[in-house]
Structure 1
Amino acid sequence: MSRSGIFATQNLLTPHLQVYKGAHQNRPAQNQEEGASYALVMRLLEASKIFHHGHHLGIDNYFTSPKLALDLYEAHITCMGTVRKNRKGLPSSVKDASLRNKEVCERRKGNLLCAVYKDGSKQPILISTKASAGFTKTTNSKGKQRRVPKIVQCYNKAMGGVDMSDAHLYKYLDECQTMK
């Protein structure tokens, strides 16, 4: 199975795309312990020449990890994304949180904010090196105001370009299903 790394801007431009086809790809030696998804993000950012320029990055959960977020922060790139529950470095109080609807559990580890927010049946874990803790008011498309965690509002804003590019990705799949 292929997995794509997409670097997309908020105005929906996709200047860089790399397809990950397995661990056999050559990885830089310094990224061996972090894994293939970490290395792919770093290659995309290096190709985009955005290190040390103060950009903000939205990252898909396949690629997001606390280690990546903190390393990007050191390179003057803030980031935001959902993260899988089994990633190393997540606070156990966030991973194991049992929340009621519209509740949030937030923990800070240095410059990294980790939060889990229950919205209906979903309980995503989010990480950010930009968002602050707490709630803010937002208005939905029907004009109704509601309170949401600041990290969720930041996520929705940051992920616009990535989600749109991801939606259009299936036009360019390099796999095809065959029948015997």
Structure 2
Amino acid sequence: MTSSDFCVGDPSLPRGPQGYACKDPAKVTTDYFVYTGFRGEKTPNNVFGNNVTLAFSNVFPAFNGLGISMARLDFVVGGVIPIHSHRTSEVLILVKGSIIAGFIDTNNTAYYNRLEIGDVMVFPQAMVHFQINVGKTPATAYVSLNGANPALQLTPTSLFAGNLPANIAQKITLLSRKEVMQMQRIFGAA
């Protein structure tokens, strides 16, 4: 049996460019269309003072084939989502706190603003962007991305947590060797 209405993904099978293979629609229940992973308090747990809860098709298989995904962003006071990019566009709605959010275009023009509860901001496809909690309380935002697998590339971890040699990181960032080594220690590469 097949359904032309939806394709709930089967993450136990290999993923292809179009997503996961579809589960048998006869075995799909309403529960597959409900995601509960955003419930409750989320404790920021990293050097950036954030917690990102992803709802991509690998954890919410109903998104498979629909070209959408979501995430919940939680920030401590002063917490950040560091400069990063996706291969998709993103829409953010702030539901708690106050943040500065922005992106930088390919002309190096920064577009940023202080957002308050209920404000929405869009980040165009592939633009590097960021969020900073500038309020006096924790902050929470939800984002939706126009891709089931939008990918996430954090610039700091791309430069300092992987296998990029320190001497190359030093040349491409204009940081001193000491600064590069410090960043590699922070991000676990050294």
User: Shared topology, TM-score over 0.5?
Assistant: no
- Structure in which a larger fraction of residues adopt strand: 2
- Structure in which a larger fraction of residues adopt helix: 1
Higher Rg of the two aligned structures: 2
What is the TM-score normalised by the length of structure 2?
0.28
What is the TM-score normalised by the length of structure 1?
0.29
